[in-house]
Amino acid sequence: MDVQLRILRFDPERDDLAHWEEYAVPAEPSDRVLDLLHHVKWYQDGTLTFRRSCAHGVCGSDAMLINGRNRLACEYLVKDAGRAISVEPVPGSQVIKDLLVDLEGFWDKYRSVMPYLVNDEVPEDGKERRQSPDERERFDDTSKCILCGACTTACPSFWANPDYVGPAAIVNAHRFIFDSRDHATEERLEIMADADGVWRCRTIFNCVEACPRGINITRAIMEVTRQIEIRRP
């Protein structure tokens, strides 16, 4: 069967405004939207630009607005998308070309929350920092983040204020705030307590719907918020 694929195109060297272009692409129900984009680039229009890497839902590179919702192109199947599919760059970010957006601000915010283990103590046995299963389970949900940016770029609070640290950064702060081995909880909570930190969240739940890993992002944000409130004098 053929799928009608509509792609929002923009080339800064030629276009003043983004515009839609349509392609008839042969597809099977089990094909992914990424396969359709590959077909267009390889056989119909080599100028099409988009980001992808592993193509298996692990790297998070190919987050796009597909049929009006942020998704991973490598996971969304034709049988679920239908025979008329629209693909746009994720919202709220500057478009570099076609489906490729500038994520430098996203990565800056991610780095700002100290997304790494902080612990200078040497374990007694000199080998490992042990955790109980319950301690590991405490942050299991937020450890699933693949940094695709789908949650942040689906967030109206981020659209309204690009300085908002965003759901993805908060998720990764949560992952270490609740890690029993980490010693930088207070520093991260101070970062999260900023005016552009967790207080910008309006619990709209767009982030939860957009997350391809099924992370309960709003719950994680509320848990970080609660920790800030508990520690207030």
Domain residue spans of the chain: 2-101, 104-231
> Comparing C-alpha atoms, which of 204, 214, 230 is closest to residue 57?
214
**Residues 11-46: tens digit of each pLDDT:** 999 999 999 999 999 999 999 999 999 999 999 999
Q: Which CATH architecture has domain 2-101?
A: Roll (3.10)
State which H helix or E strand residue 210 sits in.
Answer: helix 206-210
CA pair distance 161, 124, nearest whole angstrom? 46
Long-range contacts, stretch 219-222, CB < 8 angstroms, 24+ apart: 219/141, 220/141, 220/142, 220/170, 220/171, 220/174, 221/167, 221/170, 221/171, 221/174
Residues with Cβ within 8 Å of 195's Cβ and at least 6 positions away in sequence, in order, are none
What is the DSSP secondary-structure string of 87-106? EEPPTTS-EEETTEE--HHH
* Tokens 């272009």, residue located: 21
CATH top class, domain 104-231: mainly alpha
Same fold, 2-101 and 104-231: no
| Residue-wise pLDDT tens digits, 51-102 | 999 999 999 999 999 999 999 999 999 999 999 999 999 999 999 999 999 9
Q: Establish how many alpha carbons lie within 13 A of residue 101's alpha carbon, considering only the half-sphere containing its beta carbon.
A: 21
Name the 3-class secondary structure at 224: helix
- Span 170-191, average pLDDT: 97
Structure tokens at 226: 């609660």
What local confidence, expressed as pLDDT, does residue 231 receive? 83
Which helix H or strand E contains 6, and what residues bound it? strand 2-9
